[in-house]
């Protein structure tokens, strides 16, 4: 069991460019979460999938952020027209069935927008 | 809405000394509470979790936490800190039957020799 895998570990984009972040959850886990971590805001919930279906995207900035889970083995977080304020560590986590179970986090993708 | 407050952004403890990291939660009902730890350049890992039942829960590496409904608290304790405990500790809460986990702002633990 390799745990939750996130790629890339680091991504640098110019302002206005697109960034796509990848997450491979633990096999057999039906719940996938995306969080954003910054020094100022801490850990912010972005979105949640259950059995690949989007359940809650209330934490996603509406206009430029989107997340998908096309199959049970990976999820993507796409940020269009990146801005400096998008610079953060994006964490993906999976669990057996939801938040009451242990969340297993990936190591994160550090996004730097220049 | 549920929330978690960790009042101490940074705590410094001498190696071998005891430790308490504070966590206060705000939630109407019975919460599920967690402590996660983040070591440098790693994702978060579960230390321990509280489900309704025994208020004192044991975790990995000698950590324990005590749930107090009257004080709305879930403080983390360790009897003797090791240098390898240097990390950021997050308290978190979710509701019964819920899925969204709300995290506190974290407490950075520094261990001095």
Give A6-29 pLDDT, tens digit per residue: 999 999 999 999 999 999 999 999
Query: How many domains would you assign to chain B?
Result: 1
- Shortest Cα distance, chain B CAs vs residue A50, angstroms: 10
Return the CATH number at B76. 2.60.40.10
Sorted by where each begins, the domain ranges of chain A are 5-9+20-99
Say yes or no for a CB contact (<8 Å) between B49 and A48.
no
Examine the pLDDT at A33 and tell me if it is beyond 70. yes
Say yes or no for a CB contact (<8 Å) between B99 and A4.
no
Give B65-105 pLDDT, tens digit per residue: 999 999 999 999 999 999 999 999 999 998 877 788 999 99
Distance CA B92, CA B82 (A): 23
How high is the pLDDT of residue A1?
Answer: 67
Burial B52-75 (b: 16+ CB within 10 A, else e): eeeeebebeeebbbbbeeeeebbb
Quick one: closest CA in B to A98, which residue?
B99
The CATH number of the domain covering residues in A5-9+20-99: 2.60.40.10
- Shortest Cα distance, chain A CAs vs residue B45, angstroms: 7
Domain that holds residue B66: 3-112
> Which pLDDT band, with edges at 50, 70 and 90, does B42 fall under?
confident
Torsion sign (Cα): B23, B91, A46, A113: positive
Give A79-110 pLDDT, tens digit per residue: 999 999 999 999 999 999 877 789 999 999 99
Q: Residue A62: which residues within 8 A CB-CB, separation 6 or more?
A: none
Smallest Cβ–Cβ distance between A56 and the set B43, B100, B105 belongs to: B100
Q: Which residues of B touch A (CB under 8 A)?
A: 32, 36, 41-46, 49, 51, 90, 94, 96-106
Nearest by Cα to B101 from A107, A89, A100 = A100
What would the mean pLDDT of A33-46 be, rounded to a whole number?
94
């Amino acid at each position: 069991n390799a745990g939750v895998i996130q790629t890339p570990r680091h991504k640098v984009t110019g302002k206005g460019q697109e960034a796509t972040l990848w997450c491979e959850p633990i096999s057999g886990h039906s719940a996938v979460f995306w969080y954003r971590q910054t020094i100022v805001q801490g850990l912010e919930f972005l979105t949640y999938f259950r059995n690949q279906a989007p359940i809650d995207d209330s934490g996603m900035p509406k206009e430029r952020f989107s997340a998908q889970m096309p199959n049970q083995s990976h999820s993507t977080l796409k940020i269009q027209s990146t801005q400096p304020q998008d610079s953060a560590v994006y964490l993906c986590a999976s669990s057996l069935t939801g938040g009451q179970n242990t969340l297993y986090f990936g190591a994160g993708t550090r996004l730097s927008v220049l | 809405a549920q929330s978690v407050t960790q009042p101490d952004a940074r705590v410094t403890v001498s190696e071998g000394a005891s430790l308490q990291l504070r966590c206060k939660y705000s939630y109407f009902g019975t919460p599920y509470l967690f402590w996660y730890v983040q070591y440098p350049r790693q994702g978060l890992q579960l230390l321990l979790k509280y489900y309704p039942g025994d208020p004192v829960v044991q975790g990995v590496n000698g950590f324990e936490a005590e749930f107090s409904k009257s004080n709305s608290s879930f403080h983390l304790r360790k009897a003797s800190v090791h240098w390898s405990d240097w990390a950021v500790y997050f308290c978190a809460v979710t509701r019964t039957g819920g899925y969204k986990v709300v995290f506190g702002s974290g407490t950075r633990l520094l261990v001095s020799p």
